[in-house]
Chain A
Amino acid sequence: MIGMTSVGPLILVLLACVAFAIALGVSLLSLRADATNNSNGRAIIPHRLLGKTCVYWGTLLILGALIWQCVAQGRWTPLEDNFQCLLCLGLLLAGFVLYIQYKRPIGGLDWFLLPIVIVLLISAGLFGRFVPRAYSNSAWDWTHRTSSYLGAVAFAVASAAGAMYLIANRRLRAKVALPNVHVASLERLERMTLEAVTLGFALLTIGLITGLVKALHGQSTLGKYWITSPKVILSAAVWIVYALVLHSPINPRFRGRWVAMLSILGFVLMLGTLIAVQFMPGGNR
């Protein structure tokens, strides 16, 4: 049953936004914080714990909003409508931030990913509430949506790592003092970008193939001229950009800065695709 989003999940989404905004603010403030050195010479960043706790609670709040929405609708499969899709994207990204910070922290990753999470949550709150869109539920459609959204998460991670690479590279070339916050090495950022792009590219390819199958079987909501729709054109552009990124091990001249810049470009195009899905005529319905 698809209907207007209830107030309860929206309040949870709002609280999650606040939690992530606090986490982001704390993380950015730590850059300016007068880091003191303990006996091991390791920098202690004030309020780091507060930031982590906020991300943790923000993630739980999104999960709570999703469960609430599922309970309200009486259906337990996520990605039922664009509200859930945007929440799922936010949840996966926030979960990724938590996972990385737990496994092997990368200082500054949250500066790039948390704003994306906040934008996704705000979008869910604004557009999910007033323009609820139901999706069809064929296997092709579900695979298409799942792989496309998971691919988008991977590309968001790749673009964050790419942006961090560009900043770290610029600082290293400018020979400025290293920041108090431990930012990952260029090698790790490049590897993370390539791994995320590889995963995202595979998922995007699956999404494109399933979308193509849908279109060929006349299940597409894009109509007869689906091939010229902005969504398809932008998706193809995203695919080509990331194919170029994956080309870098073969042509090493492309490595480093080029990989980072193309990853960011690909994600910008990906965002365009998401906007096309949400707003343009013939988007997902």
Chain B
Amino acid sequence: MDRLLLLGMNHATAPLAVRERLAVAEARQAHAISQFQQRFPESEIVLLSTCNRIEIYTVAKGQAETEEIAKFLPDFHGLAAGDFDSHWYRKTEKEVAQHLFTVTASLDSIVLGETQIIGQVRDAYELARTSGSAGPLLHPLFQKALAVGRQVMTQTALGAGRLSIASTAVDYAKSIFDRFGDKTVLCIGAGKMARLVISHFHNLRPGRLLICNRDQTKAEALAAEFNGKAVSFMELTSHLAHADIVITSTGATQPIITRTMFESVLKLRRYRPIFIVDIAVPRDVENSVGQLEHVYLYNIDDLQQVVSATQSQRSGEIESARALVRAAVEEFAAWHRNRQMGPAIEQLYARYHGLAQEELARITNRYPDMPTEQRQQLEEMVRRIVNKLLHDPIQTLKNADAQHAPISQYLHAMNKLFHLDEGDGKSA
């Protein structure tokens, strides 16, 4: 039987150094999905790879396949699967819905209430939809998840007054620098995250805003939006020497700013303090650069940890959001149960109504002169008896607690007890 399965790692189970090795860049996600489908034919998959998490939502056939799925991403990156075993979490069935809805409601984010995660889940689902990798189980799951996310954001104040990564980075910049009119902000990369952070730094009215990207067209577009200047990626060292605040958010798989490179930059900049916000996963700046004097390096985990430390006062809103998630999970679980049990229940009805009709036909054949009205009354009585007899077991099945026993067990028991696998027409 098909089972909903989630295999993932996030900021709680794996440090950034581990996550960045398995992260799948946006440009490669379609390729990863295609590879997954080649390896697991007829499978469904949604791949969610953000700076905080890497998660595979899929439908597994059995335990053996689950273990194979765990090897997929390490194999995709050419890494040893064993290195990541302790970081994965595995969830099945209702737990999958519970987790995804919690993620989309921004309750699993380090920055509670951040809205970016809804966009990231939507993008992941859209990619799966266009790739044709989302099927009859993942479609409703993700649609429900997105609805829950929107509901939490509109019906609770979880997102109100939240601290974002970008606003926290700005606060840190204000702790380092006093004035910004004479400062240069350099942004390396021109993606969505870079744009988000720049929009916050732009409000500080820095003296110069430089956008540096391999794709000059994108850099120019972003520079035009924020009244900045697009500069050449080839002259990165020179730009670093002039910059006071650096925001890096590229899709590079290796650090683009190394310690050796930065030691020479520090001399060029006469040891002026520099604030580096590295929000890229994998990281763009070598961690050891942050050990240099006058360098204040913050990566995505550093900023998120700081933000999470300030969230305790919103516990009331968190509880409201959790209540919405719980309700949605129950709703989805009921739908999923019905979907799985529906054919069996229909089979059960068909079988017993068939048996009843057989017995009814036997009686009515004995009394061919029976008036039509009496015949109809007899048919109605038989139908009602069958319905009443089946009512209790079917209701019990519909309301079966999946936590108590897997749905597959109920279905198996039903098949055995009512001989559904023997097909219609055979006597019980």
Contacts and interface: CB of A to CB of B under 8 A. Distances in A.
Interface of A: 37, 41, 168, 172-173, 175-178, 183-188, 191, 252-253, 255-257
A168 B175 CA distance: 8
Nearest to A189: B178
Interface of B is mostly: loop
Interface string B296-322: 101000100110011000000000000
Interface in B163-210: 171-172, 174-179
Which are the 3 A-B pairs with shortest beta-carbon distances? A188-B178, A187-B178, A252-B271
6 contacts: A177-B306, A178-B172, A186-B176, A187-B177, A187-B179, A252-B272
Interface residues of B, number: 22
Contacts of A185: 174-178
A284 B163 CA distance: 58
A253 B178 contact: no
A184 B349 CA distance: 76
B251 interface: no
Interface in B281-307: 293-294, 296, 298, 302, 305-306
B161 interface: yes
A279 to B, nearest CB: 40
A171 to B, nearest CB: 8
B95 to A, nearest CB: 32
Contacts of A252: 270-272
Contacts of A177: 306, 309-310
A10 to B, nearest CB: 42
B135 interface: no
Contact of A173 (B171, B296, B305): B296
Contact of B306 (A175, A184, A188): A175
B273 interface: yes
Contact of B298 (A175, A183, A184): A175
B172 A172 contact: yes
B210 to A, nearest CB: 20
Contacts of A37: 161
B270 A172 contact: no
Contacts of B270: 252
A256 to B, nearest CB: 6
B369 to A, nearest CB: 87
Interface in B266-285: 270-273
Nearest to A171: B175
Contacts of A256: 271, 273, 293-294
A187 B174 CA distance: 9
| Among B171, B294, B306, residue most surrounded by chain A Cβ atoms (within 10 Å) | B294
B177 A172 contact: no
Given A172-B172, A178-B171, A185-B177, 13 more contacts: A41-B161, A175-B302, A176-B306, A178-B175, A184-B178, A185-B174, A185-B175, A186-B176, A186-B177, A188-B178, A252-B272, A256-B273, A256-B294
